[in-house]
Amino acid sequence: MKGKGGFMNTVRSHIMVCGGTGCVSSGSDKLIDLFKEKLSSVEYDSEVKVIKTGCFGFCGQGPIVKIHPDNVFYVQVTFDDVDEIVEEHIVKGRVVKRLLYEEPFYKRKVQSTSKMDFYKKQYRVALRNCGLINPEEIEEYIAFDGYEALGKVLLEMSPEDVTGLLKDAGLRGRGGGGFPTGLKWEFTAKSPGDEKYIICNADEGDPGAFMDRSILEGDPHSVLEAMIIGGYATGANNGIIYIRAEYPLAIKRLNIAIDQARELGFLGKDIFGSGFDFDIRVKLGAGAFVCGEETALIHSVEGKRGEPTKKPPFPSESGYLNKPTTVNNVETFANVCPIILKGADWYSSIGTETSKGTKVFALAGSVNNVGLVEVPMGTTLREIIYDIGGGIVDGKKFKAVQTGGPSGGVITTDDLDTPIDYESLKNIGSMMGSGGMIIMDETSCMVNIAKFYLEFSQDESCGKCTPCRIGVKRMYEILERITEGEGTLEDLEKLELLANMIKSSSLCGLGQTAPNPVLSTMNYFYDEYREHVEKGYCRAGECKALMKYSIDAEKCIGCTACARVCPVNCITGKAKEVHVIDQSECIACGACFDACKFDAVIKP
Amino acid sequence: MNTEVVNKMSVKSLEELRKLREESKKKVSLRKDGEGDFIELMVGMATCGIAAGARTTLNALLDEIENKNLENVKVVQVGCLGYCHSEPIVQVNEPGKEPIIYGNVDDKRAREIINKHIINHELIDDAIIIETYKKP
């Protein structure tokens, strides 16, 4: 077959379009179609390929389009930009500067990812293939060392070698618990039993966290391969991926990946001719937060109610169907293959004394570069928020960052330079959690944030144990009262008492950690709680019920209409002079607003 | 030759996996980012370049790179290099060396650049327009 140039056409460029959920929802699927149409209309379709890939992590700037081999990174690409990219960049080799990312501080355009602050400080292990490969083609995963680790494990290593290697590497559970993975595998391996199971916990539920989804969408084989290795190391022949049904794209790609792995014999009987059999099935969950807890998750897989049970017995002794079971998080699995291939020394050289390797964080909230970042353990919050995250939106002042989701707490300016690892975060009253990081500026009310998380926890409480079911609800009600200006100082004492009681008496992690957002915000922002209670004042201006009416001095002509209708006589001012509302007396009835004919009364 | 029918056989050894990897690597070799020891071939593809046949040049370079299985070379098309009198233009950027710019690069000369300059490290003297140009 001869191409137009008189010889075989060689593909010379790849247009990578992000196919993660974030970019898909801003239209990346249609972008792909438009690129293909345009390329064929200029007869470049045989030499330029359009590839749908996984999440680049730069979600706030999506849809993302990256062009290889030029290494040009376009952001916020719309349907109308396709023609220009093809006509200018592909046909004439001219970069479309307009679509390059502009660094928020220096206001300069950056062309390649290697020069972007967002990527410079990142170190991608778990996300190594996201944005690089087409997740729906196993050959692309294989091209980047895929299934090499599995071959090495099955043909050259004993199960003890594998658990030993992971222990030496120092890999710890990325779901938030931080339990050493090698040890967990070893416990299951040593538990007596003819049948064992390995489960992947993809029930990602923390508000704001989406790293597990992105890994499954962008690089599903990395999880499958690690599960097979885990099966071999623990003596399990069956793997189950427990994933919430709200992740349709991840589920679709997982199923494609499983089929392809079966086709090439990485799943099934006699894998790599080693005599080891292993298969994986996908189990959909209904998206209950409590099912992220391993005992609840196992019950849900069994078809029972997703409720936790007491530990011990630990799943490694008696888990799924009362058989020894290992439960690991998606991100944990995504770290396994690089460790096998590059060794324990390499892995343990990254990170801090107690926490090795990297961690993926989902940046959200009031930060310029909303997205997914992977950094070595020991990176400081300041580096993550300012260097990678590009600082606070609109140049506002940083107030706090919430980590660990509903189980974690807030971290303030004082601790911005703390190197992050499992222990350091715990020491400052928060926790690693699954890696959600919500950045807040001065316009965020800390009482309100605590209320937000409690609302989530009381909704998600499974109801099995009383402290969590009733206690968290009572706490939520108190917070609701405070944000509405009806709280008392006694309420603050009650909150603290309840919080500590729930922490110490709940059955599972959900209840044991649910009061953390309250305790942590009370610890760092007690002043704000007091202001709400004593003065009915919310300094961030977020608690709407506490907002008072005010008068715009520019617009007020001094007609006295407002003062005459005010039922509590809190508006003062002489005729033809600017009037003022005494906010401590204002009952926010709105009568002045209705009375003013000059739009001078400002509604809260 | 029908390349569409890929033999989906079970992979039973590391050798088989590595063979599959070598085949698959060709499909993704474009995606190496700029870091490392890449030789970059820039082809001027502005109106003048295209009119003078730069697409043939570009395809010849890519074809020859594939024929010779070169992994450390990437071909990037760029806008006008400013030597419109000698189009098509190919600029060779080797790490640590000063760029060399070749002019009037047709199919034959493109393959020569790969075989002589890239593989044998010999300059093709009569085709060089400029070699003292410093990269900005």
pLDDT in tens, A410-432: 999 999 999 999 999 999 988 99
> Does A145 touch chain B if contact means CB atoms closer than 8 Å?
yes
DSSP H/E element including A510: helix A509-513
Adjacency order of strands within the sheet including A436-441: A371-376, A358-365, A436-441, A398-403, A409-412
Mean pLDDT of chain A: 92
Cβ–Cβ of A266/B45 closer than 8 Å?
no
Strands A550-551 and A601-602: antiparallel
Residue B131 to chain A, least CA–CA distance (Å): 23
Would you call A531 an interface residue with chain B, using a CB distance cutoff of 8 Å?
A: no
Phi, psi dihedrals of residue A65, rounded to the nearest 5°: -130, 125
CATH architecture for residues A138-347: 3-Layer(aba) Sandwich (3.40)
Q: How far is CA B124 from the centre of its chain?
A: 16
Note the pLDDT tens digit of each residue in A533-543: 998 888 887 88
**May I ask the CATH class of domain A547-604?**
alpha beta
Q: Give every CB contact of residue A448 below 8 A, 6+ residues apart in sequence.
A: A483, A538, A540, A542, A543
| pLDDT tier at A395, thresholds 50, 70, 90 | confident
A·B CB contacts under 8 A = 119
Of A11, A71, A93, the CB nearest to B45: A93
Nearest by Cα to A48 from A79, A2, A17, A76 = A17
How many angstroms separate the CA atoms of A128 and A4, rounded? 36
Q: pLDDT band at residue A233, thresholds of 50, 70 and 90? A: very high
Q: Where are the alpha helices (DSSP H) in chain B?
A: 14-28, 47-51, 54-67, 107-112
Residue range A336-380, pLDDT digits in tens? 999 999 999 999 999 999 999 999 999 999 999 999 999 999 999
Cβ contact (<8 Å) for A92 and B47?
A: yes
DSSP H or E segment with residue A564: helix A561-565
- On chain B, the residues whose CB falls within 8 A of the CB of A146 are 21
| Mean pLDDT on A474-487 | 94
Q: Which residues of B touch A114 (CB under 8 A)?
A: 33-35
Which whole number is the average pLDDT over B118-134?
Answer: 77
Chain A nearest-CA residue for B36:
A114
Q: How confident is the model at residue A1 (pLDDT cuts 50, 70, 90)?
A: very low
Q: How far apart are CA A498 and CA A504, in angstroms?
A: 10
Provide the CB-side half-sphere exposure for A13 (13 A, CA): 26
Which pLDDT score, from 0 to 100, does residue A541 have? Answer: 78
Determine which of A6-10, A151-155, B14-18 has the lowest per-residue pLDDT on average.
A6-10
Check pLDDT > 60 for residue A153.
Answer: yes
Phi, psi dihedral angles at A241 (to 5 degrees): -105, 115
**Average pLDDT of span A492-496:** 96
Helix/strand/coil for A509: helix
Q: Closest approach of chain B CAs to the CA of A130, in angstroms? A: 13
Strand ranges for chain B from DSSP E: 39-44, 73-78, 90-93, 100-102, 128-130
Calpha distance A300→A203 (Å, rounded): 11
ipTM: 0.81
Q: How high is the pLDDT of residue A566?
A: 92
Interatomic CA distance for residues A379 and A389, integer angstroms: 13
For the record, the structure tokens of A94 come out as 């001219």
Instruction: Please tell me the predicted confidence (pLDDT) of residue A6.
Output: 40
How do residues A503-530 score in pLDDT, each as one tens digit?
999 999 999 999 999 999 999 999 999 9
In this prediction, residue B3 has a pLDDT band, given cuts at 50, 70 and 90, of very low
Instruction: Give the pLDDT band of residue B131 (cuts 50, 70, 90).
Output: low
> How sure is the predictor about A476, in pLDDT bands with cuts at 50, 70 and 90?
very high
Q: Residue A172 — φ and ψ, nearest 5°?
A: -120, 155
Testing the interface with B: which of A8, A12, A144, A263 to mutate, by most B Cβ within 10 A?
A12
Q: Which helix (DSSP H) or strand (DSSP E) does residue A283 occupy?
A: strand A276-285
- With respect to CATH, is domain A8-113 assigned 3.40.30.10? yes
Q: Shortest CA distance to A373 belongs to which of A388, A386, A351?
A: A388
- The predicted model gives A65-87 an average pLDDT of 93
The whole-number pLDDT of residue A93 equals: 83
Q: Is the Cβ pair A265, B27 closer than 8 Å?
A: no
**CATH class belonging to A358-441:** alpha beta
CA–CA min distance A11, chain B (Å): 8
The per-residue pLDDT for B33 is 60
- Which of A104-108, A136-140, A471-475 is least confident? A104-108
Read off the pLDDT band of B7 (50, 70, 90): low
Residue B1 has pLDDT above 60, yes or no: no
Query: Taking the domains of chain A in order of start, what are their residue ranges?
Result: 8-113, 138-347, 358-441, 446-535, 547-604
Shortest alpha-carbon distance between residue A397 and chain B (Å): 36
Average confidence (pLDDT) over A575-601: 87
Instruction: Find chain A residues with C-beta within 8 A of B69's C-beta.
Output: none
Distance from CA of A220 to the nearest CA of B (A): 18
Average pLDDT rounded to a whole number, residues A73-88:
95
Calculate mean pLDDT across residues A67-89. Answer: 93
pLDDT > 70? residue B134:
no
CB count, 10 Å around CB of A277?
A: 13
Q: Please, what's the b/e burial string for A327-359 (b: 16 or more CB within 10 A of its CB; e: otherwise)?
A: bbbbbbbbbbbbbbeeebeebeebbbeebbbbb
Nearest to B99 by CA among B73, B67, B71, B135: B135
Q: Do B62 and A10 touch (CB under 8 A)?
A: yes
Which residue in chain B is spatially nearest to A270 when comparing CA positions? B12
Q: A275 in contact with B at a CB cutoff of 8 Å? A: no
Q: What pLDDT band is residue A207 in, cutting at 50, 70 and 90?
A: confident
* A136 at interface of B, judged by CB pairs closer than 8 A: no
Integer angstrom CA distances of residue B65 from A446, A512, B68:
60, 61, 5
By C-alpha distance, the chain B residue nearest A14 is B30
| Closest Cβ–Cβ partner in B12, B44, B62 for A272 | B12
Is it true that A138-347 and A358-441 share their CATH fold? Answer: no
pLDDT at A62: 87
CB contact under 8 A, A264 and B8: yes
Give the largest CA-CA distance in chain A: 95
pLDDT score for B135: 45
For residues A360 and A211, the answer to whether their CB atoms sit within 8 Å is: yes
> Chain-wide mean pLDDT for chain B?
82
Cα(A495)–Cα(A480) distance, rounded to whole angstroms? 12
Q: How confident is the model at residue B132 (pLDDT cuts 50, 70, 90)?
A: low
More confident position, A228 or A430: A228
For A256-315, the pLDDT digits (tens) are: 999 999 999 999 999 999 999 999 999 999 889 999 999 999 999 999 999 999 989 999
Query: Under DSSP, is residue A171 helix (H, G, I), strand (E, B) or coil?
Result: coil
Residue A268, phi-psi category: left (phi > 0), alpha (psi -120 to 50), beta (remainder): left
Candidates 2.130.10.10, 1.20.1440.230, 1.10.15.40, 3.40.50.410; CATH matching A446-535: 1.20.1440.230
The C-alpha R_g of chain A, in whole angstroms, comes to: 28
More confident residue, A566 or A586: A566
- Whether the pLDDT of residue A10 is over 80: the answer is no
Q: Does B14 sit within 8 Å of A152, measured CB to CB?
A: yes
Task: Report the DSSP pairing between strands A601-602 and B39-44.
Answer: unpaired
Beta-carbon-side half-sphere exposure of residue A221 (alpha carbons within 13 Å): 32
Is residue A247 scored above 80 in pLDDT?
yes
Residues of B with CB under 8 A from a CB of A: 8-14, 17-18, 20-21, 23-25, 27-28, 30-35, 43-47, 50, 55-56, 58-60, 62-63, 66, 74-79, 107
Residues in chain B closer than 8 A to A147 (CB atoms): 11, 17
Give which of A44, A52, A138, A139 to mutate to test B binding, by max B Cβ within 10 Å: A139
Residue percentage of chain A with pLDDT more than 90: 79
Residue A241: count other Cβ atoms within 10 Å of its Cβ: 27
Q: Is A133 on the interface with B (CB under 8 A)?
A: yes
Alpha carbon of A499: minimum distance to chain B alpha carbons (Å): 51
What pLDDT is stored for residue A417 in this prediction? Answer: 95
Among A164, A517, A116, A178, CA closest to A377: A178
Q: Which two tokens stand for residue A103?
A: 């660094």
Q: Which element (helix H / strand E) includes A472?
A: helix A472-483
**pLDDT value at B35 more than 80:** no
Name the burial class of residue A485, with classes exposed (0-12), middle (13-18) and buried (19+) by CB atoms within 10 angstroms of its CB. Answer: middle
- The token duo for A482 is 């405070």
| pLDDT grade for A8, boundaries at 50, 70 and 90 | very low
Average pLDDT of A164-170? 97
* Residue in chain B lying closest to A13 (CA): B30
**With 70 as the cut, is the pLDDT of residue A113 above it?**
yes
Is the CB of A14 inside 8 Å of chain B's CB atoms? yes
Which chain B residue has the Cα nearest residue A44? B55
pLDDT tier at A583 (50, 70, 90 boundaries)? Answer: confident
| Helix ranges restricted to H, A175-210 | 181-190
Minimal C-alpha gap between A277 and chain B (Å): 13
Q: What pLDDT is stored for residue A91 in this prediction?
A: 87
pLDDT of residue A3: 39
pLDDT band at A76 (very low <50, low <70, confident <90, very high): very high
Residue A142 has its nearest CB partner, among B20, B35, B79, at B20
Query: In sequence order, what are the residues at sequence separation of 6 or more whose Cβ sits closer than 8 angstroms to the Cβ of residue A403?
Result: A409, A411, A425, A430, A431, A432, A433, A435, A436, A437, A438
Q: Closest Cα partner for A325 from A191, A222, A223, A161? A: A191
Please tell me the number of Cα atoms within 13 Å of A44 on its side-chain side: 24
- Helix, strand, coil fractions of chain A, as percent rounded to 5: 45, 15, 40
Q: Do A69 and B35 touch (CB under 8 A)?
A: no
